Structure 1
């Protein structure tokens, strides 16, 4: 497990599979002798989230979800989607086309291999574009204390199964086509290299999806719970704040009964100034200023009997 005090350069050299992961956080080369913590501070990256992703990539999955930054995690995953869709997959397709040499190979199998690869990419695109359009905006809305209506739980429950059924299955088919059925009389170093890259890509995407399953989804659920709790607490606070005190209710009853400030003061044995203060508080809390409006409020809340009101 890597820690904040470890050197970033040691991480990069010892775990080459993390190079693209680190780059997705916006960290360039040239880290000198700086620690992971120093580099993260320099680039304003939440270090607990950085270490959670890096350690998950290297095989450690013990990071508590409560320590994660949802904003940092979403930024990382968005950058990962850009990496896969705009760079890694197009580059792999070009390499695969060059390796199978569709122009000189008379068999239809090379074309079918490319078609199979394209089908695989379409599933990846569909999966990632959906998250870009719905899942990440949902989490970003939660971070802004909004109440998005997106059904996150349905996505969360189906996420792993969708990956297994659609993405993994198509990649397995692609590998089998190349390994078992590609027609060739001699060794093809370029094809071997492309196939090896496909295996690496598979591992990267599986890890990426696992990070979403085990870090993003629990983090989003926790954020949702916090937001719901905050909304309930705020609602209770506002209800308590808007509730009239017993003395204010007494003043309101006298007001509805048609008494003047002086008459209310005499009836309740308080000063006229205190009556005026109570009236201001009543108007502020209820956002009602007219005598008719105050009368309706008093009737609805059973403070007065409509049959006893003066005409």
Structure 2
């Protein structure tokens, strides 16, 4: 078994960390550390810019797959890092990818795939925004109040509530990448390949971001909650679990089509036509609950989770002709 490399230490030169793992450049910007630090050590650079060294090293070691000592992580310092990461995704990286896609794909092509790909991306970007804005509005203010000394008993929210409902969002970037590679009929271009490369980088970055939240941020906030509870015990939150099934990404379209029932194909066609669950239920004489269950099963079988993705799947697999797809409003 391959041994993990040694953990980065406060006395390591920061430029050595960057040379070892270029992805740490993103951590520098999110901690507010500018370049131009010469041969200074991690401890020296962090001290100069008012960054907690233990928190920085915990993130750097985690991102580099090295042993992590999270005992010295300060939740306030880590929260500032996460807030800056949200700003980067929402206001820089995702808008940049969208601009490249607009330039790379033909949004007026006969089959409408370029426009559907853009719509898929917009759906994904909107989901990322909702995901992160919940954290900005609810999770981070709660943690700040906890750090300020407000007792958690004053709020029904707990960090475990966030943890239970914290779903990974990066896989949908992989789904978008696979759709473009597999289905977009245009010849490869530098701009399209550049957009695909950025999508791959964004997928990796989002995955690491969510893992930092789950494996560093949540545990340290739990510790602070426990400290507050010891001073004035409060009831535990109710337990619960939301499991989700996944299907293999290697399944061919023909196998996926074969796995679908006729009713599921009908529902995919109606989704592609832009109908809501209620409209589909009325058209097929089903209950809304039944339609919702079918949609969940379809998503599990196809590993496609958005209307735009299902529409692309329906077109390229000839479940619906392109001229039956409603034009965007």
TM normalised by structure 2 equals 0.65
* Partner residue, 1:102: 107
Determine the C-alpha separation between the residues in 2 that align with 1:36 and 1:74. Answer: 20
Alignment of 1:132-171 (within 5 A): 132-148=136-152, 149-152=155-158, 153-159=160-166, 162-163=167-168, 167-171=169-173
SS in 2 for 1:208: helix
Query: Where in structure 2 are there 5+ consecutive unaligned residues?
Result: 1-6, 234-329
Q: Does 1:230 align with 2:234?
A: no
> Contact 1:2–1:51 at 8 Å: present in 2 too?
yes
CA contact (8 A) 1:116 1:170 kept: no
Against the structure 1 CA distance between its residues 109 and 157, is the aligned structure 2 distance closer, same or farther, given a 3 Å change threshold? same
Q: Find out whether 1:216 has 2:222 as its counterpart.
A: no
Local SS of the residue matching 1:16: coil
The C-alpha deviation readout for 1:256-301, integer Å capped at 9, x for no partner, is: xxxxxxxxxxxxxxxxxxxxxxxxxxxxxxxxxxxxxxxxxxxxxx
Partner of 2:132: 128
Q: 1:195 to 1:213 in 2, by over 3 A?
A: same
Equivalent runs, 1:188-203 vs 2, <5 Å? 188-203=189-204
Q: Distance in 2 between matches of 1:208 and 1:143?
A: 22
Give 1:168 shift: 3.9
- Measured in 2, the distance between the counterparts of 1:220 and 1:4 equals 24
2:68 maps to what in 1?
A: 63
The structure with the largest alpha-carbon Rg is 1
Rounded to whole Å, the distance in 1 between the matches of 2:219 and 2:21 is 26
Closer/same/farther in 2, CA of residues 229 and 134 from structure 1, 3 Å limit: same
8 Å contact kept, 2:86–2:132: yes
Higher RCO, Cα 8 Å, sep 6+: 2
What CA distance in whole angstroms lies between the structure 2 residues aligned with 1:52 and 1:12? 15
- Name the SS for the 1:183 alignment partner: coil
Q: Secondary structure at the match of 2:175?
A: helix
Greater helix fraction, Structure 1 or Structure 2: 1
Contact 1:138-1:150 within 8 A present in 2 as well: no
State the Cα distance separating 1:176 from its structure 2 match.
Answer: 2.2
Give the TM-score normalised by structure 1: 0.69
Determine whether 1:82 maps to 2:87.
yes
Q: Does 1:182 align with 2:184?
A: yes
What's the offset of the Cα at 1:170?
2.8
Shift of 1:150: 4.1
Q: CA distance change for structure 1 residues 31 and 101 in 2, over 3 Å: closer, same or farther? A: farther
Residue 169 of structure 1: how far off its partner (Å): 4.6
